[in-house]
Amino acid sequence: MPTADTIAAVATAHGRAGIGVIRVSGPSVAQLCKALMGDLPAHRHATLSSFCDANDEVIDQGVAIYFRAPHSYTGEDVVEIQAHGGVAVLRMLLQRCVELGARVAEPGEFTKRAFLNDKLDLAQAESVADLIDASSSDAARSARRSLTGEFSERVIAIRDLLIELRVLVEAVLDFPEEEIDFLERHQVRAKHEAIRDRIAVLAQSASQGNLLREGVQVVLMGAPNVGKSSLMNRLAEEDVAIVTEVPGTTRDVLRRELVISGVPIHVLDTAGLRLSDDPVERIGVERSLQQIELADVALEVVDASASAARTTAESAFSAPSKAIKIRIINKIDLTGDVPHVESGGDIESVWLSAKTGSGVELLRERLLEVIGRRATDEVPFMARERHIDALKRALASVERGNQEIQSLELFAEELRLAQRSLAEITGEFSADDLLGEIFSTFCIGK
């Protein structure tokens, strides 16, 4: 899809660096290069060049690499200017590009052009941003798998099976006299079930990948002085929170980003839940209750050595929320209990000592299990909520089709809806406003 304008942006992070890169893409790249550096560099060759202003004075000297369309990231003519990474130098070079007819690129516009020019499908384009934002090695590997097209290939393979089945169904609708033994002769049920199973497996892998991208919010809650801050420090493996014997030391929500087996975990240590006349502490308790409502996992920390009532904490713990709830029986170093996981009733309990670290590994393992991160040698695909939603809708359509298989018209419609949902993932079917929303989240220069 040819574009009429040329775009330019600084493609490296803001700030001082040894090297900074300006990327330019569009139909007037050749003319811009000749005006900026006196000549058009050879295709895909690093060329030492002087970059000059309108008065032919040298702004900087560096390396220019020219990529001729369609053999470039965007599918258009592209030049990447590698200069010294000073803020002023890059600003002057970008301004010079604008003077020569380019405009400053919008966030994600280079990748959007790559998508529109069929260099990437939509799932691959999104994985570019995910690779940049990856906060762990597993997340980076997962995003890389999606960027190379493995996720899209799985989606397309299922789509092709749906198309094949739709062709059979549409053919028998055109020749109704064939409908009698159609299901048995063409093994329609077996093919339909195989499609359903493949979508379910892919949806599971996508959900795993989404964990690597989004992370999980875990809230520590409980009465004052039960060891919430000590447990947070133990999980973080450093002194993040202040720990004292004085109840109510934590007044506000403390946040810490952890990575457990490749999964980003956002741990929040909340103020101790108790009735208090201290207005600051009351605000802290209110904020704690708000965070509990939003949490993916809520850990109620209980002092194993105390017999005092936990009415405030238990009330909050039993309140309706979407959070998975685990009770942490802490301070077993004072009671002589051994670390273990206790199942029974509605809430599972993990017995541990935040002070000594005994049993904390059990908690890490349980966190991974309850959030659905299963141990596997295969790195999952990086996926977004919209991918998971599309896969769920495709699966629902296929399952409804199983109920309507005796009515071929309804069966065919459910197959069509399933194919349409899968097409949304790769961008074969996508609304312009969806594209705008996706690419606006990218960094400028990408």
pLDDT of 281 reads: 47
HEC secondary structure over the chain: CCCCCCEEEECCCCCCEEEEEEEEECCCHHHHHHHHHCCCCCECCCEEEEEECCCCCEEEEEEEEEECCCCCCCCCCEEEEEEEECHHHHHHHHHHHHHCCCEECCCCHHHHHHHHCCCCCHHHHHHHHHHHHCCCHHHHHHHHHHHCCHHHHHHHHHHHHHHHHHHHHHHHHHCHHHCCCHHHHCCHHHHHHHHHHHHHHHHHHHHHHHHHHHCEEEEEECCCCCCHHHHHHHHHCCCCCCCCCCCCCCCCCEEEEEEECCEEEEEEECCCCCCCCCHHHHHHHHHHHHHHHHCCEEEEEEECCCCCCCHHHHHHHHCCCCCEEEEEEECCCCCCCCCEEECCCCCEEEECCCCCCCCHHHHHHHHHHHCCCCCCCCCCCCCCHHHHHHHHHHHHHHHHHHHCCCCHHHHHHHHHHHHHHHHHHHCCCCCHHHHHHHHCCCCCCC
pLDDT of 285 reads: 53
CA contacts within 13 A on the Cβ side of 215: 18
30's tokens: 């050749």
Q: What is the rounded distance in angstroms from the CA atom of residue 349 to the CA atom of residue 265?
A: 20
Return all residues near 287 (Cβ < 8 A) that are at least 6 apart.
252, 253, 270, 271
Q: What is the rounded distance in angstroms from the CA atom of residue 215 to the CA atom of residue 382?
A: 12
The per-residue pLDDT for range 49-62, each reduced to its tens digit, is 999 999 999 999 99
pLDDT of 70 reads: 94
- The answer to whether 157 and 189 have CB atoms below 8 angstroms apart is no
Q: What is the rounded distance in angstroms from the CA atom of residue 228 to the CA atom of residue 341?
A: 18
- Check pLDDT > 50 for residue 72: yes
What is the average pLDDT across 424-441? 76
What is the average pLDDT across 178-189? 67
243's tokens: 């720990």
The per-residue pLDDT for range 283-299, each reduced to its tens digit, is 555 665 566 666 778 88
What is the average pLDDT across 267-289? 56
The per-residue pLDDT for range 9-30, each reduced to its tens digit, is 999 988 888 999 999 999 999 9
83's tokens: 């200069």
Strand order from edge to edge, sheet including 324-330 = 254-260, 263-269, 216-221, 297-303, 324-330, 348-351, 340-342
Q: Write down how long the chain is.
A: 446
224's tokens: 């004052």
CB atoms within 10 A of CB 282: 15
Q: What is the rounded distance in angstroms from the CA atom of residue 34 to the CA atom of residue 97?
A: 11
- Check pLDDT > 50 for residue 315: no
pLDDT band at 216 (very low <50, low <70, confident <90, very high): confident
Query: What are the beta bridge partners of residue 63?
Result: 48, 82
Which domains are seen in the chain, by residue range? 7-120 (3.30.1360.120), 129-211+381-439 (1.20.120.430), 219-370 (3.40.50.300)
- The answer to whether 323 and 219 have CB atoms below 8 angstroms apart is yes
pLDDT of 379 reads: 62
pLDDT band at 316 (very low <50, low <70, confident <90, very high): very low
The per-residue pLDDT for range 230-262, each reduced to its tens digit, is 888 888 776 554 444 444 444 455 778 887 777
How far apart are the two ends of the chain, measured CA to CA in Å? 18
The letter for the amino acid at 319 is A
- Check pLDDT > 60 for residue 147: yes
pLDDT band at 148 (very low <50, low <70, confident <90, very high): confident
